[in-house]
């Protein structure tokens, strides 16, 4: 395992598309990292990014892995296994964007490679670090949940045409769901549709866990409005989360009555708590958490196993939908 003695981690990014450029932008401003360089099969793109950040444009992934402590793998999902395993064998800690892979076998190969090399593995489920989601997780830890409802909808974009809406969008909410309810799934009922592509463009899943929790997830890339919301029915509260506005509201019953001294009385049937949500950038929080895990030995969040479990449920949902479409 390579580690700078000053605990400043030398980092490199493989893949400089839209998401990869976000990785470069954030890493370049964080004191925990020294951004060394980047690689992309598009020579012009990698050189442009290198000039912008004053870093090196590597000619191969191998050369980059030899020079860094942490490798961020931000390439198409079908390349995740190949590059993450190569980085781990070179002794790099690995952050691989979601999904960890496209099948469970490749996911396990990545996990095994990092374990064999003694390096850390983080899966880039960045929504886990959305301040609204962090607030939600803290709240539900003290509530008896009955049901949860996730809705993640967007207009169509050609960028998403190469993967299903389950792997592209729903997987974010699946990761959050499995984090707040780490219980075995007892039953799944799913449906979906192909609209603009040969992949699933719309998907719905109803899930029941062995503890009785009911979950509804809807993911769409055919909706002409961007929606990112979660609603949780709990025994003593109703929690409404808006990821885009980063707002969390909790409705609770109350029996407050105000006697004003004359015939009319005022009764309030419920109260609404507006939770303070900080404006932290999720990607920065994710990278800081990974850096802390590397330097202190704390468990990684989300870990490779967490990423594999989210992938497993995604594959199960996809299979159920496609079976119904035949």
pLDDT class of 254 with cuts at 50, 70, 90: low
Whether 67 and 110 map to the same domain: the answer is yes
Domain boundary among 94, 119, 144: 119
Whether 153 and 86 map to the same domain: the answer is no
List the single range of 37-41, 234-238, 264-268 with lowest mean pLDDT. 264-268
pLDDT at 279: 72
Q: What are the CA-CA distances from residue 138 to residues 135, 194, 218, 233, 275 (Å)? A: 5, 37, 23, 15, 11
Q: What is the pTM of this model?
A: 0.90
Domain count, the chain: 2
> Does residue 290 fall inside a structural domain?
no
Tell me the per-residue pLDDT of 183-233, one tens digit each, with 9 for 90 and over.
Answer: 999 999 999 999 999 999 999 999 999 999 999 999 999 999 999 999 999
> Does residue 227 fall inside a structural domain?
yes
Whether 151 and 248 map to the same domain: the answer is yes
Domain boundary among 119, 143, 166: 119
Q: What are the CA-CA distances from residue 62 to residues 36, 82, 88, 137 (Å)? A: 14, 12, 11, 39
Whether 133 and 276 map to the same domain: the answer is yes
pLDDT at 258: 53
Q: What are phi and psi of 258, to 5 degrees?
A: -105, 120
Whether 38 and 169 map to the same domain: the answer is no
Query: Taking Cα atoms as reference points, which of 206, 231, 129, 141 lies closest to residue 175?
Result: 129
pLDDT at 301: 95
Whether 100 and 79 map to the same domain: the answer is yes
pLDDT at 30: 97
Tell me the per-residue pLDDT of 117-160, one tens digit each, with 9 for 90 and over.
Answer: 999 999 999 999 998 999 899 889 989 999 999 999 999 887 76
> Does residue 216 fall inside a structural domain?
yes
Domain boundary among 68, 100, 119: 119
Q: What's the mean pLDDT in 40-52?
A: 97
Query: Taking Cα atoms as reference points, which of 128, 112, 123, 175 lies closest to residue 313?
Result: 175
> Does residue 53 fall inside a structural domain?
yes
Q: Which domain holds residue 210?
A: 128-280+312-325
Whether 144 and 213 map to the same domain: the answer is yes
Cβ pair 165, 203 in contact under 8 A: yes
List the single range of 96-105, 173-182, 198-207, 238-247 with lowest mean pLDDT. 238-247
> Does residue 300 fall inside a structural domain?
no
> Does residue 293 fall inside a structural domain?
no
CA distance 239 to 148: 9
pLDDT at 324: 80
Please compute, for residue 241, the number of CA atoms within 13 A of its CA located in the half-sphere on the CB side. Answer: 29
Q: Kindly report the CATH number assigned to the domain that includes residue 49.
A: 3.40.50.720
Whether 16 and 94 map to the same domain: the answer is yes
Q: What are the CA-CA distances from residue 320 to residues 152, 173, 311, 314 (Å)? A: 20, 18, 14, 10
Whether 48 and 97 map to the same domain: the answer is yes
Whether 177 and 41 map to the same domain: the answer is no
Instruction: With both helix axes pointing from N to C terminus, report the angle between 304-325 and 104-117 in degrees, rounded to the nearest 10.
Output: 170
pLDDT class of 1 with cuts at 50, 70, 90: very low
Cβ pair 283, 26 in contact under 8 A: yes
What is the rounded average pLDDT for all residues in the chain? 91
> Above pLDDT 90, what percent of the chain?
78
Estimate to the nearest angstrom the gap between the alpha carbon of 83 and the chain centroid.
20
> Does residue 286 fall inside a structural domain?
no
Question: Positive or negative CA dihedral for 296, 38, 92, 79?
Answer: positive
Enumerate residues 6+ apart whose C-beta is below 8 A from 77. Answer: 97, 99, 101, 102, 163, 167
pLDDT class of 62 with cuts at 50, 70, 90: very high
Whether 179 and 320 map to the same domain: the answer is yes
Whether 113 and 140 map to the same domain: the answer is no
pLDDT at 269: 55
List the single range of 100-109, 137-146, 300-309 with lowest mean pLDDT. 137-146
pLDDT class of 3 with cuts at 50, 70, 90: very low
Eight-class DSSP state of 203: E
Tell me the per-residue pLDDT of 274-286, one tens digit each, with 9 for 90 and over.
Answer: 665 667 889 999 9
Q: Kindly report the CATH number assigned to the domain that includes residue 240.
A: 3.30.360.10
> Does residue 291 fall inside a structural domain?
no
């Amino acid at each position: 395992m390579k580690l700078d003695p000053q605990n400043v981690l030398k980092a490199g990014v493989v893949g400089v598309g839209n998401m990869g450029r976000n990785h470069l932008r954030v890493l370049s401003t964080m004191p925990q990292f020294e951004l060394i360089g980047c690689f992309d099969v598009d020579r012009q793109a990698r050189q442009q990014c290198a000039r912008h950040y004053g870093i090196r444009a590597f000619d191969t992934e191998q050369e980059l892995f030899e020079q860094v402590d942490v490798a961020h793998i931000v390439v198409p999902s079908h390349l995740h296994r190949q590059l993450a395993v190569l980085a781990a064998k070179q002794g790099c800690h690995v952050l691989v964007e979601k999904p960890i892979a496209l099948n469970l076998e490749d996911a396990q190969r990545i996990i095994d490679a990092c374990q064999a090399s003694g390096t850390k593995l983080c899966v880039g489920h960045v929504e886990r670090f959305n301040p609204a989601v962090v607030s939600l997780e803290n709240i539900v830890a003290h509530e008896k949940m009955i049901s949860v409802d996730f809705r993640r909808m967007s207009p169509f974009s050609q960028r998403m045409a190469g993967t299903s809406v389950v792997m592209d969008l729903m997987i974010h909410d699946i990761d959050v769901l499995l984090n707040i309810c780490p219980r075995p799934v007892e039953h799944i009922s799913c449906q979906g549709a192909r609209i603009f592509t040969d992949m699933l463009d719309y998907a719905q899943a109803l899930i029941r866990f062995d503890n009785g929790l009911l979950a509804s997830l809807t993911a769409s890339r055919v909706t002409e409005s961007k929606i990112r919301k979660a609603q949780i029915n709990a025994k003593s509260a109703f929690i409404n989360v808006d990821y885009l506005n980063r707002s969390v509201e909790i409705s609770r019953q109350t029996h407050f009555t105000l006697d004003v001294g004359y015939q009319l009385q005022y009764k309030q049937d419920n109260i609404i708590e507006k939770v303070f949500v900080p404006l932290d950038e999720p990607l920065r929080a994710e990278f800081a958490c990974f850096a802390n895990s590397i330097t202190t030995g704390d468990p990684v969040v989300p870990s490779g196993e967490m990423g594999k479990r989210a992938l497993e449920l995604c594959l199960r949902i996809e299979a159920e939908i496609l079976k119904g479409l035949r």
